[in-house]
Amino acid sequence: MQDIIRRILTARVYDVAVETPLDPLPRLSARLGRRVLLKREDLQPVFSFKIRGAYNFISALSPEALARGVLCASAGNHAQGVAMAAQRRGAKAVIVMPVTTPAIKVSAVQALGGEVVLHGDSFDEAFAEARRIEARTGAVFIHPFDDPDVIAGQGTVGLEILRRHSAPIAAIFVPIGGGGLAAGVAAIVRFLRPEVRVIGVEPVDAPTMHAALKAGEVVTLDQVGLFADGVAVRRAGDHTFRLCRELLDEIVLVDTDAICAAVKDVFEDARAAPEPSGALALAGLKAWVAANPGVAAGGDLIAINSGANLNFDRLRHVAERAELGEGTEGLFAVTLPDRREDYLAFLGLLDGRSVTAFNYRWSGDGTARIVVGVALKTGAAERAGVAAAVRAAGYGLEDLSDDETAKLHVRHMIGGRASGLPHERIFRFQFPERPGAFIRFMSALQPLWNLTLFHYRNHGDDVGRVLAGVDAPPADHAALTAALDALGYPYVDETDNPAARMFLRGG
């Protein structure tokens, strides 16, 4: 403990790193009833805290060691830190990265002068390859987390928090992969402000340190989830395990949806876009507050945003899952008679709540099976109330809000070719994004025209984009066109669209 504190207090990081701010998150603070601040390590030159540990390690190397070059294995952020630190010290850097590493991180390492070697599907495979290169070349290996100088460099994050924030702190939330940041922050906080809780946060599908603490020793997980790739580590470090075991108050586990919701929280309050592992600590903070109402209410809560190296493509998944993660959307499978009056009755049971998704395909057996998203304000209790009201009306309902298969796949697969619909017409609409739009649409259709397809998902636009099918005989086509024109929703007839013809119209 004395050794790691000495190393933190004498760490050399500011040749390349900057002292990052503690930004308040006013909207989230108002929601939680607690003052929440975010430590902005995403503002480092490499957009991650990893530059601290990497440079602290390299700055201690002798000229002879620097001449041999440095080497590391990393999923991305440590790689950029090593590449920048080596560039500043005039050393060659070889970086071994898993082939699954986001392209933004690979190109960033190359831009900093690092030689990238892509190897394996996971950090562990990249790590083993880096060790083989070390044995062959004599380059100095820089461990991403399990080294005293690396831990000390990361510990300067905690030192800055305490220096900038002299007011009472209830807890500091730290993301954990291998544990370098958590070990360093916990060490300096315990030394200077022992009354402050230090709480680690891990993804529920990558509970590396949590599993080690539970077992009483470092363990190797069979596999870890890759969504939060910055913390996708199967085995914690030996040094970091010993420090975390002694110094952490607890570890909180959060799922992908909670991480996505935290990304949205950061964006809304700070106009920043953290990577999933960067938002991990804030997701844990929210989960901890929900599980511990009123605990240590006298102090502020601080989460460390560890990085912002986010692949742009990842935003699609984040946006899709954020509402589920923050409890503002429920996803249900509803079964009801395939009749107009039952659709209207079902929508009435939602009591004015906005429909965020509505996916249906005609089956021909007189039963409609719908996947529907519903906007919520108060989370799980309100979700349960909606489900109870629908069931009480005699309709079947399954709550799919926590069903990974439904959220990832099934909700997007409602459709397909339906036989027995020789007169089906397919239309693409722009619905106004307001309650009652679907009811107006249903009311515009004549009773003999069956709704055969409806696909809608709220994407945050000013209009709702809908694909709908209507079964109307040729003699009614003019009347159907007149009814849709009178409805006033912009639409395009896509009946002869090649995609509709190949994948939707069954004839």
Catalytic residues: 50, 306
Q: Whose structure tokens read 């605990």?
A: 295
Contacts of 35 (CB under 8 A, 6+ apart): 24, 29, 300, 301
Contacts of 374 (CB under 8 A, 6+ apart): 329, 330, 332, 350, 353, 354, 355, 356, 383, 386
* Full strand arrangement of the beta sheet holding 463-471: 396-399, 329-337, 367-375, 355-361, 450-457, 463-471, 424-432, 491-493
Query: Pick from 307, 397, 304: which is nearest to 349 by CA?
Result: 397
Contact call for residues 256 and 321 (beta carbons, < 8 A):
yes
CA distances from 171 to 45, 184, 300 (A): 27, 15, 7
SS3 370: strand
Q: Where are the beta strands (DSSP E) in 298-411?
A: 300-305, 329-337, 355-361, 367-375, 396-399
Contact call for residues 503 and 417 (beta carbons, < 8 A):
yes
Rg (the chain; Cα; Å) = 27
Cα four-point dihedral sign 260, 265, 271, 272: negative
Query: Pick from 150, 18, 135, 186: which is nearest to 74 by CA?
Result: 150
Cα four-point dihedral sign 415, 416, 418, 424: positive
Q: Which two tokens stand for residue 134?
A: 């070390």
Backbone angles phi, psi at 380, to 5 degrees: -60, -40
Q: How far apart are CA 201 and CA 159, in angstroms?
A: 19
Q: How far apart are CA 456 and CA 160, in angstroms?
A: 48
